[in-house]
Every structure is written in structure tokens, then in C-alpha cells.
Structure 1
Amino acid sequence: MEISVKAAYDQLASDYEHNVDTKNAFNAHYERPAMVNLLPADLTNMKVLDAGCAAGWYTVKLLELGAEVIATDISKEMVAATQRRVGNRAKVLNLDLEKELPFENGTFDYIISSLVIHYIKDWDKTFSEFQRMMKPGGILQFSIHHPFMDIKFSKNQEYFSKELIVDQWERQGKLIDVPFYRRPLNKIINKTLDYFSIEGIVEPKPTIEFKSLNPESYERLIKQPNFLIIKAIKKH
């Protein structure tokens, strides 16, 4: 992952730790309810990787569902935030998902990755590592930017190309450059199918709680999606 992604999320860590869970409707009342709805109600005796854990919201949720959790993030500040949140209940590691990962073949029953994979330029290394580390029949569940949303950020408006986009987020009075990769829907689906069988695709809609926090964005999201969720199974 590019060094600028690390820098961006080191700067964002405090905001994620203290504000995102309650104040950011896109996380709390849009992406997360849809992702949780796809999770099994009971993860007891399952080993789960939280791949790109940010400040640890999903790490806690997975623990609550009974899983044995290992969480990773590229940002040392995010790793520290997650460690503060979960204590010794989960192992939290500072790792780059674009590199070889220090886990044995067939380690995980489930890998969940929330709004992370669009920061990765080349999915082959990441998906091949995920596939290697998963048990037969293991599940990968990930959310990313929806390509129909991302095309609005494109300078060249060439939908069918992969493109580096640098978005600017305002947090606590600062503008932070957040780079990510835009890619068309066919590349998202076909690259996933190179390594997994797709079980389902979700284009989430905002909850009613979202409307009270951000009515203008609610009306937009009811009509067009921001995120895309894919649930896939390791090919035998």
C-alpha cells in the first residue's frame, strides 16, 4: 500500500477512535449494518481476520459474536487505537495487505475487510494471500467504494480504466489527502472470481437513523449507492 495511505490513516486515527462510531453516519448507519447483516449470528470456534481494522469497531463486533480474532492495519496509530479498545482479547498487528502475510496456510475460517481494498493497487497479491490463509470453504467478506460513486471523482471520466484518485477529507479543521484506486465493476467482480466464488453482492441502503444525522445524504443514498459489499467463498 502506498506510504501516503499510511500517513493519511495515522492522521485519521484519533478521529476514528473517538468520533466515527457515533458521528459518522456513513460508517455507523450505512456500511456497518449491511456488513453485520451478512455475518453469521454465531462465530464461536471460528478464527477470523479483521483485515484493515482501523480503530477496532469490527474487531469488537467479531469478538462479541464469539470469534477468535486477529486484527491488522497498515497504520501504527490505528493499531494502537485498536489495542486500547480490545486489550488482550485479540491479537493486533501492523501489516500491509499488499505484502506476504505471516499466517500459515488454512488459518482462517473468515476474513472480513471493511472499506480497505480500494486502497490497494494490485489485488492479485492480496487475494492470493487471503485464499492461501483461508480454510476450504472459508468466507471473504469485504466492502469497497461503489464504482458508480467513484467515477464522479475521476478527472478523465474513463470509467473502464483503473485510476488513482486523491480525495480530501476535512477532519478536525485539517484537510487530509486520502488516495485510493477507482476501478470498474467488471474488474471488481472478475478479479474476485479469479480467487473465490461469489455468494452474494449487496448495494447497501442507509438506515432510518442515518436520515436524522444527515438527511441530505440520506436522500442521495436512497437513490444511488456509495459502497459495494461482496461475500465470497474460497474455491476448493
Structure 2
Amino acid sequence: MDTADYDAFAARYDAENAGSLLNAHYERPAMLDLAGEVAGRTILDAGCGSGPLTVLLRERGAMVTGIDASPAMIALARERLGDDVPLHVGDLAEPLPFADGAFDDVIASLVLHYLEDWDAPLAELRRVLRPGGRLIVSVNHPTVRLLSHPHEDYFATRRYSDEFDFDGEPAVLTMWHRPLRAMTAAFTRSGFSIAAIEEPPPSPLTPPELMPPRIASGERSAFLCFLFFVLQRGEHRPWPSQTSSGIR
């Protein structure tokens, strides 16, 4: 994972993230709802960024550890969290500095879509989970790319870049599109069972002025943006090759 992007605009991203519709009023509330009661649970916030979700998990009584590939983001997280939360600079594409079975849950919030390969990171996230532990994931919804770029091949795993506005200034992020079937195959191949797939609505506490007009008017109840998974660590079983299973 290339950290240069986030290191370049970490403070601006953090400012945008603090109150935006998609982060503050959609993705984070959805992740907390999926996590449920976390008091007393050990949680790894994998790709913690500047720590906004880490803070919320800690406030709910979880014992949280954070890791992120961007030193600038970890510096912001230290300012936000103080010294009582362990924070590490580390790339999810590399071995993690944690013992086997160290965590009850792993939260991977909007991070996997920056990685071309999921097998090695998922194997590491599974390793650091206790047996039966949960991996709670949010990623870009793959159908959004299909709707916005209908000429592209939805079923191809491919790299793309988009421009965003962070706190009034443009920035470019590079990510990986993969179809839903590639996501679910990677999860099960890595020894996870899929407990839930969710496409939640925005939080009911969202300020009305932030809502898309068709939702604010009541015409629609939700929008496509991110896709959420609750996975459970199971016994690892060999997964048939993609060719033998008919997936190409």
C-alpha cells in the first residue's frame, strides 16, 4: 500500500472526515452498529487512519490497538488518543506485529480497497484473531463503479484513481476495484465465514442539510456507497482453485 497519498494530505483528510456525510454519518455509525456491544473486547483497528473510529470504540469500553501505513495519520491519531492506546505504523500487506489470537475483533474500515492482493492481508488478520473472532469490513461498493463507469469491466479486478475534495483542496486516491464474487471468494479462501453483508442507510442522526435531496424528501431510504461485511474466523479449509470452481 502506497502511503504517500495520505501522508501528503493527512490533516486535510482528517478535517473532512470529521463531519462528512459518508464518513461521520454513514460509515462509522454502520461499523459501530455491526460491532455491537464491544465493552471489554480487544479490538485491532486495522487501517485506523487518524483514529476517529478508534476513539468511538474506546468510548464504548473496548481495548483498542491501532495500526496504519501512514506515519502522518498515526501522528494525528496519537494527538487524538493520547498515550493509552497502542498505535503502530505498519502495512497490512506485510506481517503484523501481533501475536496469534491477540484480538477478539478486527475492524478494517475502508482500507482493503487500497490493496491489490487480499490473500496475504486476510491471512494475517485471521492469524491475529482468536478462534471464532470477528473481522468487520467496509469497502467501496463495487456496483458504484459500475454505475459511474459503465464502459469498464465490472468483473475485472483493476486499479483506478479518483479525485476528491478534502477540506477545500483536491487530492487523488488510487484504489482497486474488485467484483463482489472476488471479495467473497477471498474471504472464504482465507478461512472466514460470512455472517452478514450489509448496505445500511445513513444514520438517523444525520443533519438534514447533509442528506442527498431524494433521501431528505423521503423518496428513497438509502444510497449506494460502501459495502459492509461481518466475517467470523473459522477452521481453515483448502479452497478450490478459481478455475476448477468455474470462476475466471
TM norm. shorter chain > 0.5 = yes
1:167–1:153 Cα change, 3 Å: farther
1:214–1:87 Cα change, 3 Å: same
1:107 matched to 2:93? The reply is no
Equivalent residue, structure 1, for 2:125: 130
Equivalent residue, structure 2, for 1:232: 231
Total equivalences in the alignment: 231
Contact 1:30 1:210 survives alignment (8 Å): no
Equivalent residue, structure 2, for 1:8: 5
1:150–1:75 Cα change, 3 Å: same
1:226–1:34 Cα change, 3 Å: same
1:104–1:223 Cα change, 3 Å: closer
Q: CA deviation at 1:146?
A: 0.5
Q: CA deviation at 1:150?
A: 2.2
Report the more deviating stretch, 146-155 or 197-206: 146-155
Structure 1 or 2, whichever has the larger Rg, is 2
Contact 1:165 1:181 survives alignment (8 Å): yes
As a proportion of its length, which structure holds more helix? Answer: 1
Give 5+ residue unaligned stretches, structure 1: none
1:47-62 paired onto structure 2 within 5 Å: 47-62=42-57
Give 5+ residue unaligned stretches, structure 2: 236-248
Give me the TM-score of the superposition, normalised by structure 1.
0.90
Give me the TM-score of the superposition, normalised by structure 2.
0.86
Equivalent residue, structure 2, for 1:85: 80
Residue 163 of structure 2 aligns to a residue whose secondary structure is strand
Equivalent residue, structure 1, for 2:199: 203
Which of 13, 18, 29 is equivalent to 1:21? Answer: 18
- Identity of aligned pairs, percent? 34
Contact 2:13 2:167 survives alignment (8 Å): no
Which of 164, 183, 187 is equivalent to 1:192? Answer: 187
Q: CA deviation at 1:216?
A: 3.8
1:154–1:74 Cα change, 3 Å: farther
Residue 123 of structure 2 aligns to a residue whose secondary structure is helix
Work out the CA distance in 1 between the residues paired with 2:136 and 2:232: 9
